[in-house]
Amino acid sequence: MICAKHICKAGRFLLIAAAFGAAGCQSPSYHTPATFPDEPKNRRIVLLPVDVELSLLHAGGGQEVNAEWTRLARKHLSNDLATRFEKIKATLVERKATAEDFGKDDKENQLLKLHERVGAAILVYQQKGAWQLPTKAGTFDWSLGSETRYLREKYGADYALFIFLRDSYSSSGRVAAMIIAAPFGGIRGGMQLGFSSLVNIHTGEFVWFNHLARTSGDLRTPEGARETLDTLLESFPK
């Protein structure tokens, strides 16, 4: 098992590199050999705050986080998730905090950052290809470590759903640069990158993981947020 303590701090950069390589391809999902309980009472899931940022992609390639876009995206995603999980066979553990409370619990915030780094490592080292670790071929064995017990104690849940999303949108200057560069091989526009994980918070082990990397999608509207979650959670355990 690879523990979160061994994931380097460059995880976000590995995520971007891996996601660009996967763009345009079907998003594979991974499951542990463990069976997800059949009884709803044993599927107590807490939906953690969505870790999302929306940015404007400038002509030169730099990205500027847009606070208002990010606020809207977090609101739309949180609202859709609450409705979505009322329809599955699971007991949804209510979080009294709202989307605007994101990051105010230091321990919870550290676990969200930990999830980002481990998720980046999964993207690089789990998928088939030159970077896949030999020990990961044919198996899926990752963990956030025993720190997840904090969530168990805080919410009384058995599982936690983590969602990490980054979305960027081309400025008018970037669009112009893309048109100019098209005859010479082109430059990229905005991208939507993300991954989601279901984690057993008794043990810290990942139960399920899925990711997306694409040049479409818009998290600034309720409809766009719903479509992104449809894609990201398509293979969620039933």
Average pLDDT over residues 109-119: 92
Q: Looking at residue 162, what is its pLDDT? A: 95
pLDDT at 169 over 70: yes
Are 33 and 185 spatial neighbours (Cβ–Cβ below 8 Å)? no
Compute CA 156 distance to the chain's CA centroid, rounded to the nearest angstrom.
Answer: 23
As a whole number of angstroms, the distance between CA 210 and CA 194 comes to: 9
pLDDT in tens, 27-71: 678 888 777 777 767 788 998 889 999 998 876 777 888 999 999
Confidence of residue 104 (pLDDT cuts 50, 70, 90): confident
Return the top range by mean pLDDT from 10-19, 96-105, 133-142, 221-230: 221-230
